[in-house]
Amino acid sequence: MRTICLLACLIGMAMSAWSQNLVLGQEEEADDAIAVVGYFCKNDTMTYTRTTSKYKIVEGDTTMTNSFQEEFMIVVTDSTSKGYKMKLIPLDVHFNGADDDEDEDNFLLKSLNQALGKIVCEFTTDELGKVQRIDNWRAIRDEVKKGIKLMCDTLYAAEPGMDSIMPRKQLEKILQLRFSTEEGVRESYEELEELFGLHGSTFDIGDQDKDTDEDGYPTHIRARIGYTTVEHEEDDFEGDYAISTQSTMTMPVEDLMDIGFGAVSLMLSDMVNDSLDVVRDQVLDSLKTAMPQGIEIKESAYFGYFLNGWPKEHYYEKTIDMVAAKSVESTYIEWVSRNWNIYISDDKSTENKDI
């Protein structure tokens, strides 16, 4: 438990340090804006680790609900004046508490990963590095369909009475529906958006504050854009840059409840849904009394880049604050090795960070 709390504190300290290390300008740089542009070359190779964690904080007691780490490689297979062709190659995955068979989240994730862990995603970006399409999405869809069936085989074999609560055919259909289009497949590759989602955008250097309701709810956003300091000469370059943002959104309790209960109700039997409606009403009344002003949803994000536009690191944290309890999910991507213009196959060591 203390380890989890310490991890949360360290992540918060890292976010603060990242923001402080953003230099708002350089004397030799006359421009007052930074453009996120990828200057990639054929055979450029980057290896990353992506750590995903979810935990709850109830009355000061922190409980990890889900945590796993993926290692993957991004390879530029072609470079033209119109853009780049790339591959995302999975290398390894590690589940926190992987030996605990009673951990249902890890149990399902491991089952799904057995079928999907080696799928290579082929994608195309524009000339600035922004992802345009998943080229082999149909092949991915077909493999995902097999993986979902395998996951359901494992789940329903372990829980014989589950079909009466959550009909298997209904669950499979809903899960497969998500991957039935290119857009759905693309949304499942969150790391592509995390790494290349800002490419093609231009940001004014400095601190910015903004109030908006573009998403339908009042939101306050703070951002810092600038060049990062060279902390390690072997890893960092003059001209590396980053964008750091923090936002706070206030959402009515009933809207958040509708999102959560609505997604769950699609997979449950009618009998269970009737009981769920009663529970929803009880929980909603309780939360509205405790939080008449709504629920605060806080998000922090950090996007770091090398001077040539290759993603350096990314951090994202989302906290839903419900007074007595907090739900936190975070994602951290860190580069492990870089081999620019020299392809390194996935069986080679990625322990060093030398160019």
Q: Are residues 287 and 298 in the same domain?
A: no
Q: Contact, 90 vs 75, CB < 8 A?
A: no
Q: Are residues 261 and 118 in the same domain?
A: no
The answer to the question of residue 146 being in a domain is yes
345, HSE (Cβ side, Cα atoms, 13 Å): 1
Residues 89 and 163 placed together within one structural domain of the fold: yes
For 217, which DSSP code? S
What band does 341 get if pLDDT is binned at 50, 70 and 90? confident
Q: What is the pLDDT of residue 136?
A: 96
* Whether 93 and 126 share a structural domain: yes
- Name residues whose C-beta falls within 8 Å of residue 5's C-beta, 6 or more positions apart in sequence: 62
CATH number of 16's domain: 2.30.230
Q: Please indicate, yes or no, if residue 347 is contained in any of the structural domains.
A: no
Contact 67, 51 (CB under 8 A): yes
Verify that 274 and 231 share a domain, yes or no: no
Q: How many other CB atoms sit within 10 Å of the CB of residue 88?
A: 19
With H, G, I as helix, E, B as strand and everything else as coil, classify residue 119: coil
Return d(Cα 314, Cα 336) in angstroms, integer: 13
Residues facing 298 on adjacent strands: 248, 319
> Are 266 and 120 in a shared domain?
no
Domain total for the chain? Answer: 2
Q: Assess whether pLDDT exceeds 60 at residue 278.
A: no
Whether 354 is covered by a domain: the verdict is no
User: What pLDDT sits at residue 38?
Assistant: 97
In a domain, 197, yes or no: yes
Query: Model confidence at 259, in pLDDT bands (50, 70, 90)?
Result: low
What average pLDDT score do residues 5-21 get?
40
Task: Calculate mean pLDDT across residues 208-226.
Answer: 90
- Least Cα distance to 165 among 263, 268, 266 occurs for 268
Q: Do 211 and 269 have their domain in common?
A: no
List phi, psi (to 5°) of 80: -130, 175
Mean pLDDT across 36-52: 96
286 inside domain: yes
Q: Is residue 355 part of a domain?
A: no
Q: Please provide the DSSP assignment of 103-114 as one string.
A: -HHHHHHHHHHH
* 282/182 same-domain check: no
CB 237 within 8 A of CB 227: no
Q: Residues 52, 121: one domain? A: yes
Q: Please determine, for residue 257, whether its predicted confidence score (pLDDT) is greater than 80.
A: no
CB environment 107-135: b (16+ within 10 A), e (fewer): bbbbbbbebbeeeebbbbbebbbbbeebb
Residue 262 pLDDT grade (very low, low, confident, very high; cuts 50, 70, 90): very low
pLDDT in tens, 125-169: 999 999 999 999 999 999 988 888 888 888 888 887 888 778 888
φ, ψ (nearest 5 deg) of residue 57: -120, 110
Write out the residue range of the structural domain in which residue 204 sits: 2-252+294-339
pTM for the structure as a whole: 0.78
Question: What pLDDT score was predicted for residue 140?
Answer: 93
Contact 276/270 with Cβ under 8 angstroms? Answer: no
To the nearest whole percent, how much of the chain has pLDDT over 70? Answer: 70
Distance CA 94, CA 162 (A): 28
Angle, alpha carbons 279-156-103 (nearest 5°): 70
Co-location of 172 and 138 in the same domain: yes
- How many angstroms separate the CA atoms of 184 and 149, rounded? 18
**67 in the same domain as 9:** yes
* C-alpha separations of 277 from 12, 254, 273, 292 in Å: 37, 13, 6, 21
